[in-house]
Amino acid sequence: MKLNEIRDNPGARKSRVRVGRGIGSGLGKTAGRGQKGQKSRSGVSIKGFEGGQMPLHMRLPKRGFNNIFAKDYAEVNLGTIQKLVDAKKLDAKGTIDHAALKAAGVARGGKDGVRLLGKGDYSAKLSFKVAGLSKGAREAIEKAGGSVEVIEVVPASEKAAAKKGSVKKAAAAKA
């Protein structure tokens, strides 16, 4: 076998059907589109059109909405944090924040920071620096002798807008 003798298996590649190329091809003249009507013309066959009847997608009721101001938190349970501390995957001496939880593999996503939830058994004395936490989580941390600092995470879009505003102010001050 040589490089110039390499071929596909017979029938591996199929050439596309060339419609409208004569009566002998089986798809000549009208090219499989039938006679007359909207669908025989080029560029028209309307998606979802039901012949003047109200289309299905318009008959179904609208439900819900997407909140464009919703915060995206990585939610972490205290029970999970306790397991990580017991397994020595989290340093109990330092402050536990989003970066530490992400490195431990529990805070997935969460572009607006981490939110602690009070599910599970918790007994470690830790200090947290998070974007938010539930009432139960705060009680459990304080009961164990730990501390919590809630920080305000500024979204990237707001940072960009603030930067843009400060550039404009600086330009106005120079003029």
CA pair distance 47, 45, nearest whole angstrom: 6
Tens-place pLDDT, residues 62-96 = 999 999 888 899 999 999 999 988 888 888 788 88
Phi-psi region of 22 (alpha: psi -120 to 50; beta: other; left: phi over 0): left
Alpha carbon 74 to its chain centroid, in Å, reads 13
Note the pLDDT of residue 155: 66
Confirm whether pTM is higher than 0.85. no
Fold of 74-150: Ribosomal Protein L15; Chain: K; domain 2 (3.100.10)
Amino acid at residue number 137: A
- Cβ–Cβ under 8 Å, residues 72 and 106: no
Identify the band that residue 44 occupies on the pLDDT scale cut at 50, 70 and 90: confident
| Domain boundaries along the sequence of the chain | 74-150
Question: Across 111-155, where does the E strand assignment appear?
Answer: 114-117, 127-130, 132-133, 147-150
β-partners of residue 74 are 114
Note the pLDDT of residue 62: 92
Residue with tokens 């560029």: 43
Mean pLDDT, to the nearest integer, of 16-34? 92
The whole-chain average pLDDT of the chain stands at 87
Provide the H-helix boundaries in 1-134: 56-59, 78-86, 98-104
**pLDDT score of 172 more than 80:** no
- Beta-carbon contacts of residue 134 (< 8 Å; ≥ 6 apart): 115, 116, 117, 118
Short-list 98, 78, 84, 85, CA closest to 142? 78
